[in-house]
A and B are shown apart, each in its own frame.
Chain A
Amino acid sequence: MAALLVCLPSYSYSEQVFGTTTNAASSGYNWVMSNVLPQATGLTVSNVIYRYTTVKDPDDPMLVHVSNENPIDGGYTFRSTDDWTGIPGNTINRVIPISQIPIEYWGDGSIEWEGKGRVDDPFVVYTYQYDTCYDPQADPDCPGYKPEIPDIPPVPDVADPINDQFVQDELDREMMLRDEDEEEKQRAKLADAEEEEEDVDLETVLGIVGRSLQGAEDTAKHNQVMALSQFSQQYFQQLPDGVIEDTVVLKDSRLPRNNRGRRLQFAQDLLHDKLVKSQYRGEQ
């Protein structure tokens, strides 16, 4: 059963449609092909079949043209001429095979004549064919159909300010400063951690040692030392009285402007401002 199901044909299909138009010349000697041929993609014309009757004097010259314009290359896609010169008028039936010319080459059609006489009862039909799945996207059942993927509009080319060399330098510098700060903080943190670790270790060791050594002997020694009374409990030292004069005397004179210091101050101020602003930029 499963094998049978696998062998069943899929539901996708492609169908060749063959057809014949109605009389293109039913309403006159000129016709618009878009009103005659079905507007199917991939349609091709296989035959032109026409019939008309000429009414003329046998001795009169007469040429009758049945034609279709070529809207792409100019000129005519189809043109058939019947020479009725020197012969009596009659009805002509013609079937002219066409080598599958695509629909886009079929422009407006007409029956025209030159010379004396007239054309009656014009009848022009076209036989055509097309594949319903010429464009696989026309029907989801067509073989080769692919689901539509919406077009994503291209992203416009925006100049990235980060690519600017000056901005890049500034960012590098900021990053360097930040890295330095971070590094310093890390270092301090590491030092604290090491210290803490050391403290912890020392305490632990002392605790262990303390527990082992702080024995009765040490306690006894401590008590002996404390029992010795020759050590005074307070220390006294007399400071000499008097006035201690300043030894450096500055002479009065005019102090010159310190332009270098001023420049340094301004530079530091600017740098400070920049640093402060860069902090806010960094937060964004």
Chain B
Amino acid sequence: MFKKTLALCVSLAAMNAYAVDTPIIGQVESKCVVTTDKQGVYGNPSASILSTDAADGGVEPVVRFDVVLAEAYKAVIAHPISFSQSPQLNDVVNWTGSTSVEAVSDAGMSAYDTSKVEYDNVTEVDLDIAGSTWFKVSSEADYGFNKALPGGTYTAIVEANCIAL
């Protein structure tokens, strides 16, 4: 009986070995930054239309993409297809819009306008050159069939994302 007990104690001591978990911490900062350079404003040229066109009294919003690494990211910009805030609307709103390069920090970025891919309300641009690119977004909302928009505040969101390739 004594012998068994002793054997058990030795076995427990062997199992009680020390173990250390050493963490490795890494911090990754984004090499692509998206900034709103200019807030957009809807103009109301007619009772049924809201437009960001300067000729209609609106202001086109501008989004800037700053990329540190070339050929590592793409810009995905979606012009609005709904209001995030508005009075209650009983009719359909027809949305149109586009995204284009407004300014560049490198002449070669001017080619983004020809190489961009558009589908639905989305524009995708491969950011092949390091630097800053300014994209302007136009948006127009046409309510019903020449139907007057109810009075109130209308807000729509432009969604701009920088996605790693």
Contact = CB atoms under 8 A, between A and B. Distances in A.
Do A and B share a complex? yes
B108 A91 contact: no
Contact of A94 (B101, B105, B110): B105
B83 to A, nearest CB: 30
A84 B113 contact: no
Contact of B103 (A64, A84, A93): A93
B110 A88 contact: yes
Contacts of A92: 103-107, 110
Most A-side CB within 10 Å, residue of B104, B132, B134: B104
B71 interface: no
Interface in B115-155: 132, 134
Interface in A82-125: 82-84, 86-95
Given A58-B114, A93-B132, A93-B134, A87 B103 contact: no
A274 B103 CA distance: 102
Interface in A154-195: none
B110 A87 contact: yes
Given A51-B103, A82-B106, A82-B107, A90 B113 contact: yes
A90 B109 CA distance: 9
A54 B132 CA distance: 17
Contact of B108 (A51, A54, A87): A87
Contacts of B113: 88, 90
Contacts of B101: 90
Nearest to B109: A90
Contacts of B54: none
A87 B128 CA distance: 14
Contacts of A86: 111
Taking residues whose C-beta sits less than 8 angstroms from the other chain, chain B's interface range is 10 to 19
Taking residues whose C-beta sits less than 8 angstroms from the other chain, chain A's interface range is 10 to 19
For the complex, would chain A's binding face be called helix, strand, loop or mixed by DSSP majority? strand
Contacts of A83: 107-108
B159 interface: no
B102 interface: yes
Nearest to B108: A87
Contact of B114 (A51, A54, A88, A93): A88
A83 B113 CA distance: 16
B104 A90 contact: yes
A90 B111 CA distance: 9
Contacts of A84: 107, 110
A90 B113 CA distance: 10
Contact of B104 (A58, A64, A93, A95): A93
B138 to A, nearest CB: 16
A90 B103 contact: yes
Contacts of A90: 101-104, 107, 109-110, 113
A94 B106 CA distance: 7
B104 to A, nearest CB: 5
Contacts of B102: 90-91
B33 to A, nearest CB: 15
A218 to B, nearest CB: 139
A80 to B, nearest CB: 10
A58 B114 CA distance: 10
Given A87-B114, A93-B132, 14 more contacts: A54-B110, A82-B107, A83-B107, A83-B108, A87-B111, A88-B111, A90-B101, A90-B110, A91-B134, A92-B103, A92-B104, A92-B106, A92-B107, A94-B106
Interface of B: 101-111, 113-114, 132, 134
Interface of A: 51, 54, 58, 64, 82-84, 86-95
5 contacts: A87-B111, A88-B110, A92-B106, A92-B107, A95-B105
